[in-house]
Structure 1
Amino acid sequence: MSALELRDGGSDYLGKGVSKAVSNVNTIIGPALIGKNPTDQTSIDNFMVQQLDGTQNEWGWCKQKLGANAILAVSLAVCKAGAAVLNIPLYKVY
């Protein structure tokens, strides 16, 4: 599977800035996850990849629209929130 990071391009930070990915978290991903159960990690990850992003290439879901970096960051935050809800250490989630 191939995952594509979303970078800003241009001259700032040698084109490696991530302002677009951060904006996607704040305006698209975050609002779409409000009210979802953070203990249902697989469902949330699938929702972000397949429904919110929805981009595919010959290797599978490529996360090109929202950025793999944005989706991964939110997935990790959801995992941490799920552990807190279950009152267990993060390393025991799976």
Structure 2
Amino acid sequence: MVTFSLATHTNYRYESGQFLQRTEWHRVICFKPGLRETIMNFLKKGQRVHVSGRITYGEITGEDGKTKSTTAIAADDVIFFQSTTQ
């Protein structure tokens, strides 16, 4: 399994004209062997990607014994976009 974080941005404009960008972070997991190796070999920090998959829910138990809910995107496909600035 490979795991990486993905940021999505939403832009808002207030009535005053001021702009605000909100960033949300998502955990992406991949179990598919071929795609998993491609992600490990080619994905770089800050690279733009398109992820297709499904949302998964689960629970993990922390070291303190408390249960926490988790949400992740189980990737079925990842498309890499080349940066125009290298």
Which band: TM-score by shorter chain? Answer: under 0.3
TM-score w.r.t. the length of structure 2 is 0.27
More strand by share: 2
Larger Rg belongs to:
2
TM-score w.r.t. the length of structure 1 is 0.25
